[in-house]
Structure 1
């Protein structure tokens, strides 16, 4: 059995799907590993390191591969080039990749999506959405600290006292909690809001204040928030407005996989912030929590800087790759038995994360979408 690790094709993607230090576990499992040249260039890992760990390095790495690894989904040309029955593992959000899903089905390729790993205890070591969200949350805090024209921590000096910056985080999932923890370590006065009741205790455990708007909680499946009505959304924005106005930094992290990020902050809410304040919309490339945020751009409105996130984990490619590669390795070890591919769809992790197989779309929601748009 041969595993191929692809050099990323999508512009701006700096992560890599597998690192040399993980190769021994795959080789011990009885598989061969081949990598494309410069696969680890963006994370400072030369081809020689892969070769020294036992991998074949060459432009033909994909030829004869049984399993193909990448961070971003393979492109249509790669899908056309792969042999029928080849297995791919990558991030692959089906709602954003319908042409590719059709190509995978037509080519009878088996695609496992890291976006679809179920949120169960047994799958935690494979949960790439969580590992990459942690990286993004840290990055959000650093971006805010770098761009805010003042200190984060309290300083008491002979010349006077400098009060700490006030930070408000909207969304207390993995990314939000990491943003809270990091801004707290930097010395900021931090508060946070989430629609889930369970978040209050987690926020408090990090030394931040939970903002209670007095609204009913919205607990959804898999630990995510449930979609809210427009009436609830409007009322929530009204109640959040004074909290946002009182903040030096606003970090928004609310996202639900497979859906457009909810709009939490309108232009009118930004107007109330002091000039020099910073807004970090971590999910701008998923639709954005902040009206007017643009992925990959910094804009200024009324003296308030709005930073739009775009593939944020890739901005810290070394730790992001280390975590993602470990997630992928743990999934591969479920797919391999005695040096061969073993697709056991009675395993709930494999069943949930398999998007296409043997000419069929296995993921129920994607089946419905293909029916609607096809």
Structure 2
């Protein structure tokens, strides 16, 4: 099969397939085309890809020749026009949010595989892009917070006196939250974490964090590890409990998302006004509206003396390792999809069924159809 890797539009710095994956794919009989300079922002030169077996081509040549095309960010309208019916497209498309784009791609007749829709089941862990990129985001969020906080993270005992450690609150103990807990602890902070899922308490405590528990949470084991909508009574209790932790924290990192919905507001303006001057909020839910009132996606703002960092593109700030992780996820998915050098689109497989959004001129992704 002819596979094509496209250069990502700025500000994205990652690349879909790492040379290590290219070497494996060409070794199994596939032909790999790569757009000139596609790996430059990830510190991977065209020469490195050529050594791995790829052929360097122009963007137009890749779009026209490749049978399966890889670009992390959605293709723009001009690129979509260059796609012929029956091609395969692999990237991160957020189908529950970008509904009009899904209709447009279906009309084009391409088969779209959205890496962020891979079912969160045990068998698919090696393909789970959301988990891989959340690991990067959780780690980098703590480093951003430390860089912007006007205080030390660890406790320091100096000739000038003792400096108390920073207090960090992590809201949401998914993959990003757990990585943030681990990183903040390594930097010497005192860490608390909150999540609506009581089942994550043990994981939080195993990393050295204190679990902030609000009784009465509803947990759905069928939600793929995500939080679910809670009752109004619970939300009130949650807000009261969180406020106590928020106003005493030097750093708050928020990661709370509900798939297909606007991110819940967990830090209100009144809470910001009560926080310490110089405190930092890093909002990893910024792309979906943010967990903090006042968050602006991909911007840093200051409200009531609190620095609010809204950044939904943290994986792109560590392009080399983030690309390697993303590429490995894609490579593992291709093991299911490619039978030698031919496509095997088996809709009886729940991973393929859950990842495929459009096929044969129609939207087939069940959550979107509902």
State the shift of 1:54 in Å.
0.9
Residue in 2 that maps onto 1:372: none
Q: Secondary structure at the match of 2:257?
A: coil
Residue in 1 that maps onto 2:127: 126
Q: What is the alpha-carbon distance in structure 1 between the residues aligned to residue 21 and residue 117 of structure 2? A: 23
- 1:33–1:56 Cα contact (<8 Å) kept: yes
Residue in 1 that maps onto 2:73: 72
State the shift of 1:255 in Å.
1.3
State the shift of 1:228 in Å.
1.8
State the shift of 1:62 in Å.
2.3
Q: What is the alpha-carbon distance in structure 1 between the residues aligned to residue 32 and residue 213 of structure 2? A: 51
Comparing 63-72 and 222-231, the one that deviates more = 222-231
1:259-274 maps to which residues of 2 (within 5 A)?
259-274=261-276
- Structure 2: 5+ residue stretches without partners: none
1:344-355 maps to which residues of 2 (within 5 A)?
344-355=346-357
Comparing 74-83 and 190-199, the one that deviates more = 74-83
Give deviations 1:119-178, integer Å, cap 9, x for gaps. Answer: 111101100000001100001100010011111001122332111000001000000001
State the shift of 1:217 in Å.
4.1
Q: What is the alpha-carbon distance in structure 1 between the residues aligned to residue 216 and residue 344 of structure 2? A: 48
Residue in 1 that maps onto 2:298: 296
State the shift of 1:118 in Å.
0.5
Residue in 2 that maps onto 1:247: 249
Residue in 2 that maps onto 1:359: 361
Q: Secondary structure at the match of 1:38?
A: coil
Residue in 1 that maps onto 2:282: 280
Comparing 254-263 and 291-300, the one that deviates more = 254-263
CA distance 1:192–1:201, shift in 2 (3 Å):
same
State the shift of 1:49 in Å.
1.0
- 1:34–1:62 Cα contact (<8 Å) kept: no
Residue in 2 that maps onto 1:93: 94
Give deviations 1:3-49, integer Å, cap 9, x for gaps. Answer: 0001113x311111011122121012211000001101111111111
State the shift of 1:235 in Å.
2.8
Residue in 2 that maps onto 1:371: none
- 2:198–2:213 Cα contact (<8 Å) kept: no
State the shift of 1:262 in Å.
1.3
Residue in 2 that maps onto 1:19: 18
Q: Secondary structure at the match of 2:329?
A: helix
- TM-score normalised to the size of structure 2? 0.96
Comparing 32-41 and 100-109, the one that deviates more = 100-109
Residue in 2 that maps onto 1:214: 215
Residue in 2 that maps onto 1:45: 44
State the shift of 1:61 in Å.
2.0
- 1:218–1:227 Cα contact (<8 Å) kept: no
Residue in 2 that maps onto 1:315: 317
Residue in 2 that maps onto 1:144: 145
Q: What is the alpha-carbon distance in structure 2 between the residues aligned to residue 39 and residue 363 of structure 1? A: 30
Q: Secondary structure at the match of 1:191?
A: strand
Residue in 2 that maps onto 1:7: 7
1:101-250 maps to which residues of 2 (within 5 A)?
101-219=102-220, 221-250=223-252
Comparing 340-349 and 172-181, the one that deviates more = 340-349
State the shift of 1:51 in Å.
1.1
Give deviations 1:330-357, integer Å, cap 9, x for gaps. Answer: 1112111121112111111101110011
Aligned length: 367
Residue in 1 that maps onto 2:34: 35
- 2:217–2:234 Cα contact (<8 Å) kept: no
- 1:80–1:103 Cα contact (<8 Å) kept: no
CA distance 1:216–1:99, shift in 2 (3 Å):
closer
- Structure 1: 5+ residue stretches without partners: 369-374
Q: What is the alpha-carbon distance in structure 1 between the residues aligned to residue 340 and residue 306 of structure 2? A: 58
State the shift of 1:107 in Å.
1.5
Q: What is the alpha-carbon distance in structure 2 between the residues aligned to residue 353 and residue 178 of structure 1? A: 26
Q: What is the alpha-carbon distance in structure 1 between the residues aligned to residue 32 and residue 258 of structure 2? A: 34
